[in-house]
Amino acid sequence: MKNILVTGATGQIGTELIMKLRHIYGNDHIVASNIREHKENPIMQSGPFELMDVRDASRFFEVATKYNVDTIIHLAAFLSATAEKKPLLAWDLNMGGLINALEVAKELECQFFTPSSIGAFGPSTQKNKTPQDALQRPNTMYGINKVAGELLCDYYFTKYGVDTRGMRFPGLISYMALPGGGTTDYAVHIFYEALKTGKFTSYLRKDTFMDMMYMPDAINSIIKLMEANPDKLHHRNAYNVSAMSFSPEMIAAEIKKHIPTFKMSYKIDPVRQKIADSWPNSIDSTAAIQEWHFRAVYDLKTMTADMLKRIKL
Ligand code: SER
């Protein structure tokens, strides 16, 4: 990894990943790109930035060639709830962007990363400790995109030798850039509301379990996976990775330990509840641990304490 192009750069993962990559590999070697500029985002000032719609194949090639990139980290995509509201647009962006990114990686012989998700599983998947190789019949547009994306990564690896790598991320919790349009977003918004108003209304039922991970663990994992010995990687679609599994009532109880007056109420959003109910309660990361030594440091307790300390309102 010498010259890295990151798409969807101002999003929740991109913002923190780019700051870290620029710190490690040098500011000028990390090219950030996004469909829009976000002037206030710290990545806009600290190194190269290119406006790019990932659906525009020739622009993708132009940017990648201009910076002589050898690595593509493709993050631009709609999350689950937005994709459910706009399924055709989600297909267009999530699949159109991915196929362009893979084509550029193939032509320019780049190493490649794109995230999959717990959303790549569906209601018929084993719910607890979902194994690496499990039934994948998601019933959301986002899930369909993620399964097709995983298969495409396998295809480009076996057919063209593209060095594809990926992870099935759980809900990611962070304090630098907010997530948008996801089903797991509540686990971020709850902290801001707890600090601002002392209360939060959850759009998911109190007993809805999903896997989650704190962003520093997600960022370190991406870098670790990208630097891993290719010969050791037996899964080129995406690795299960998990750090913690909790429900809205559990995170509320953890926040109450710091803010005793915090009040949680519930107003269920049927669309996001249905999506959450179709996903695993917890997934099993054994393959990632064995093949590239995946490790998450933060659990619910340490993540909660850190979030409450670091959020700036
Ligand atoms: N965080 C994503 C979402 O909720 C899941 O990958 O859509």
Structure tokens at 12: 């929740």
Distance between Cα 269 and ligand 1 center (Å): 15
Indicate whether 87 belongs to any domain.
yes
Q: Which pLDDT does position 136 carry in this prediction?
A: 98
State whether 44 and 177 are in the same domain: no
State whether 218 and 270 are in the same domain: no
State whether 108 and 192 are in the same domain: no
Ligand 1 — pocket residues by CB below 6 A? 79-80, 117-119, 142, 169, 171, 182-184
CATH number, domain of 303, equals 3.90.25
Indicate whether 289 belongs to any domain.
no
Q: Which pLDDT does position 234 carry in this prediction?
A: 97
149 pLDDT band, cuts 50/70/90, is: very high
State whether 126 and 43 are in the same domain: yes
State whether 129 and 278 are in the same domain: no
Indicate whether 247 belongs to any domain.
yes
Q: Are 210 and 185 in contact (CB under 8 A)?
A: no
Q: Which of 12, 13, 78, 79 to mutate to test the pocket of ligand 1 (most atoms within 8 A of CB)?
A: 79
Q: Which of 85, 183, 241 to mutate to test the pocket of ligand 1 (most atoms within 8 A of CB)?
A: 183
Q: Which pLDDT does position 74 carry in this prediction?
A: 98
Q: Nearest C-alpha to atom 1 of ligand 1 is from which residue?
A: 171
* 215/207 Cα distance (integer angstroms): 23
Q: Which pLDDT does position 94 carry in this prediction?
A: 98
Per residue in 101-112, pLDDT (tens digit) is 999 999 999 999
* 10/76 Cα distance (integer angstroms): 9
Per residue in 45-102, pLDDT (tens digit) is 999 999 999 999 999 999 999 999 999 999 999 999 999 999 999 999 999 999 999 9
Flag whether pLDDT at 114 surpasses 90: yes
Q: Which pLDDT does position 200 carry in this prediction?
A: 98
Percent of the chain's residues with pLDDT above 90? 98
The 3 state secondary structure assigned to the chain is CCCEEEECCCCHHHHHHHHHHHHHHCHHHEEEEECCCCCCCHHHCCCCEEECCCCCHHHHHHHHHHCCCCEEEECCCCCHHHHHHCHHHHHHHHHHHHHHHHHHHHHHCCEEECCEEHHHCCCCCCCCCECCCCCCCCCCHHHHHHHHHHHHHHHHHHHHCCEEECEEECEEECCCCCCCCCCCCHHHHHHHHHHHCCEEEECCCCCCCEEEEEHHHHHHHHHHHHHCCHHHCCCCCCEECCCEEECHHHHHHHHHHHCCCCEEEECCCHHHHHHHHHCCCCECCHHHHHHHCCCCCCCHHHHHHHHHHHCCC
Indicate whether 306 belongs to any domain.
yes
State whether 69 and 203 are in the same domain: no
CATH number, domain of 104, equals 3.40.50.720
31 pLDDT band, cuts 50/70/90, is: very high
Q: Which pLDDT does position 1 carry in this prediction?
A: 74
Cβ-in-10-Å burial (0-12, 13-18, 19+) of 129 comes to: middle
Q: Which pLDDT does position 71 carry in this prediction?
A: 98
Q: Which pLDDT does position 209 carry in this prediction?
A: 98
pTM: 0.97
Distance between Cα 289 and ligand 1 center (Å): 22
| Pair type for strands 210-214 and 244-246 | antiparallel
State whether 103 and 184 are in the same domain: no
Q: Which of 185, 188, 278 to mutate to test the pocket of ligand 1 (most atoms within 8 A of CB)?
A: 185
Indicate whether 290 belongs to any domain.
no
State whether 159 and 266 are in the same domain: no
Distance between alpha carbon 170 and the CA centroid of its chain, in Å? 7
Indicate whether 292 belongs to any domain.
no
Q: Are 232 and 292 in contact (CB under 8 A)?
A: yes
Q: Nearest C-alpha to atom 3 of ligand 1 is from which residue?
A: 182
Q: Nearest C-alpha to atom 6 of ligand 1 is from which residue?
A: 117
State whether 76 and 224 are in the same domain: yes
226 pLDDT band, cuts 50/70/90, is: very high
Per residue in 246-297, pLDDT (tens digit) is 999 999 999 999 999 999 999 999 999 999 999 999 999 999 999 999 999 9
Q: Which pLDDT does position 313 carry in this prediction?
A: 85
State whether 43 and 182 are in the same domain: no
Mean pLDDT, the chain, whole residue set: 97
State whether 15 and 90 are in the same domain: yes
Indicate whether 105 belongs to any domain.
yes
State whether 46 and 113 are in the same domain: yes
Distance between Cα 208 and ligand 1 center (Å): 14
Structure tokens at 81: 């709830």
* 33/45 Cα distance (integer angstroms): 13
* 107/98 Cα distance (integer angstroms): 14
Residue numbers of the domain that contains 247:
171-212+243-282+298-310
Number of domains into which the chain is organized: 2
Q: Which residues are CB-neighbours of 160 under 8 A, at least 6 positions away? A: 106
Indicate whether 207 belongs to any domain.
yes
